[in-house]
Chain A
Amino acid sequence: MIIDLQRFLAAEREYWTQLEQILNRLDNNPDRAMTVEEIKQFHYLYQRASADLAKIRTFCSEPDLQRYVESLVARAYGEIHVSRDQTRGFRPMYWFFNTLPQTFRRHFAAFCLSTLITFAGVGLGAATVWIDPSSKEMIFPAQFSHLSQRPSERVRKEESATTDRLQGQKAQFSSFLMQNNIRVSILTLSLGMTFGVGTILELFYNGVILGAVSADYVSDGQTMFLLAWLLPHGAIEIPAILLAGQGGLVLAGALIGRRSRDPLRVRLRAVIPDLVTLIGGIVIMLVWAGIIEAFLSQYHAPVLPYEAKIAFGSVELVLLFLFLSRAGTKSQPAVKPS
């Protein structure tokens, strides 16, 4: 049997148009609440379009018409089968003090691995510079050219400086640091899509640079300067990079799916909200670190005593540790999501 297409179109076109209008209204104003009557009508139109689709497929097979009705049914299906989480509004304070630290703790093993990889890089970088100090020029990237001079010479210049070399550029420098660090962190996390290889390389490379710089300053007797220079912003920036590595490894873990019988899409779907939460936390941390690096870290004794800078960095580190380990423990769900 083949349907009388003209009659069918004349009868059904009106209902399709109504359904399309409702869908367009929802597109333009997603938060609009529908009345019970509207919902009933919407559901009726969805069912009718579904039945029409079955008729077209069985008794007509006209491809363009079929595609159009399919697209209506698909859009309506997506609206009707929306998950319940969507209805709860985003609560920034709850997210920051509960969701973020809980998410960090849920994937603590990945954080430990991220730290371990970075410290392996630190070890290699430090050992390389310790054994062969001239190798630092090969290790430091071009944008760190100021690090190629002898540390004690830099310290002497910084401590005897009479002018503020960042005068009139602090905000620019701060914004540059923020966007550059956020970009690198997102990349580190995203490289989890390379089954973690890219994330591991990125973490290891960052570690190598950090280790090389540290070894260079320590071996030249400038440990105090190094701590005072790096701690105020590094206490937040370095953990932020480690969190990015944690996210990348979580993503890689979902891709690899070791010890999981779930299909790939289910595994990925389970970790996506956590990854976005981690990125949110990383962005906040790096905005803070960018401000501190431009407005505090670049000032040295006698302008700012080293002890005060180290104390500030240490306090930040302790607070960050307490925040990530303690915040949101009361509201933590008793059963961990699979």
Chain B
Amino acid sequence: MTDTRAFGASIKRLEDPRFITGAAKYTDDHTLAGTAHLAVLRSPYAHARIMSIDTSAAEAMDGVVAVYTGQDLKDHGFAGIPCAFVVTNANTLTPEHPAIAVDKVRYVGDAVAIVVAEDDYQARDAMYAIDVDYEVLGAVTDPKEAHADGAPQVFDDVPKNEILHWQVTGGDVEQAFADADVVVTETIRQQRLLPTAMEPRSTLARWDAAMGELTVWNTSQNPHIVRFLLSLVTGIGEHRIRVIAPDVGGGFGSKIPLYPEEAMCVFAAQKTGRPVKWTETRSENYQATIHGRDHVQEVELAAKSDGTITGLRAKVWANLGAYLSTASTGVPTILHGLMLSGCYEIPNIHEDVYGMATTTTPVDAYRGAGRPEATFLLERMVDKLAMQLDLDPVELRRKNFIQPFTEGHTVATGLVYDTGNYQGTLDRALEMADYKALRNRQRDLREQGKYLGIGFSTYVEICGLGPSEVAGAIGFGGGLWESAIVRFHPSGKVKLMVGVNPHGQGEETTFAQIVADQLGVAVEDVDVTYGDTAETPMGWGTYGSRTTAVASGAMMGAIEKIKAKGRKIAAHLLEASEEDIEFEDGKFFVKGSPDSSMTIQDIALAANTAWNYPADLEPGLEASAFFDPKNFVYPFGCHIAVVEVDPDSGEIDLQRYVAVDDVGPQINPMIVEGQIHGGIVQGIGQTLWEGAAYDGDGNLLTGSMMDYAVPKAAWFPNFELDHTVTPTNVNPLGVKGCGETGTIASTPAVYNAVMDALRPLGVEKVDMPMTPERVWRAIRDAQG
């Protein structure tokens, strides 16, 4: 590992001045001359047949350019919205997803008609004047209930609403349970969450009919995927489509998918000849942007009486919602089921996952995407086992940990973890928390009728998605490699172009740090370009904590090529042989005579002018490289939460939070901390406050920020963070991902802490979010 100024420095984020001064330019900040505005009329029913649509009154209103229905879009020849991750070996069905509903609506928020008008107000005024006649059908919102005989059928060609049945099997689970001394069981409800990115979604489409060119500004985490999928939907050649994701204000997975509104804007732009823009309201964001989680999990854990875990068996009903969103079927299967061994040796594992269609908003990847659902399941069961056997949850974890490894470790689900030392993060976290003292305090407080709880989560996660060969095998409709171009301008300034798409994570800074560190230029001299398919090389986007872990491999490839070419140029100019040229701190010099040297800026000028240049060398100093990792990367860590529960009111006071994570070498520790802070908060949001609720008719009861509780900074103690450093061998810098670790780890840590606090009261389960009322009822019920 290079240990210079730039790599490992907590420098302030280069992108922040424009964000914190309001100068960033988001999709909705882009308007072209003649832009018309699009509004979407959405279904007020979860499930209904469209009997008729009367658009005449709307069409006659001021400023209205046109009103279109699903039939108009279909007649235009557009294909449905594709699912791009159709998981294999699961009999996965892919029912059609029209961008605008044609015969039937399938969730509250499903598009029924669109209005294009001169301004946004006129578009929405006219939207309310469209008259739709519905025949209302039965709603089903719960994934397990959707599986039952007699449940409303979301699609005629999806029997029992079963989109997929996926299984993972390792070892002999039946035997493990037959031989078990103890079995603990639980039904876990992983509730539905609303991603709530600060910036809602937006799309602006311009169709240049004369040139046959489409330009789309879009709130996307992956503009190259949007371009690819838009070409499939619209029939426009991919080479004629430019997708620009300008500044994007958060995504958390919700801006991975290609959404119906992108197709609507392109369609409307083609029909009207005007640029067409749509920006969602927060109410639409909660109705029509993907949701996350929503599993019913029936779990059994088998063990020996000494606490050795021998088997895990689970049946999971995963809610996929009304249509298959872009990555939907991969989330509760590959990204969930394969993680079930966690950081433990569990020789026998079997899971059945049923992916269910329901009359709800589509469900897709939300920060952690499948892995939080696996980690919670496992960490909860491990704690239940500890309680059942009356063992300390720390000792039970330690007993079952995979021992430290550096050359790969295969678990029963078939994954090969890269490197790990789970004891290391646990030991450090225990030390920071002063575990012994905490247990003593807990005992003393209990005597005073106060209920302190200490909760653990020791996790490992898959990230750095991932090898393309695996992507193909599991049904992901694209590659998972990345590419990068490093270009030196004549003045020695550097432009780095990447295909990944940061949207708040700070890679304008961390990527500049990598380039600066490797090439010996100033961080400020590196411009990181992303977000425009016309200006960046192909890449598969930012999600799954893969951006740095994968793209840095491509950057390093390009950097090595630059260094090699620089060496040839320096050898020519310094009149030395290439083998004698060395490169360090931005200088090429002749081995043994450091005074005979040239800076990389000198070399850049020489390469760009080519006045005095090696005869057999191409001019310019620019290189591109592709990187396809050979494996995922597997960050890990230990989180400890300390809570106190008021048994009278059921209120939970989060008092301390200790997190020790191992994300490999840290390029910018301040940014890593920020990512972990945000992740922890989002994960605890699931435990304590967040939960999307539907009524029996399929109406979203938590449809606004007045009802859906997104955590606020003031509710948290200062987090106590530290880390260990175990580099991965999967990429050249040894870096892993840090974007999702907090979300994956914190939900069970706090849940387990609350259950630890309530243990003397006999409480065994509280559904999430653990609202005061739920805690109070659980205590009351347990006390009889």
Partners in one complex: no
Which A positions have Cβ atoms within 8 angstroms of B?
none
Which B positions have Cβ atoms within 8 angstroms of A?
none
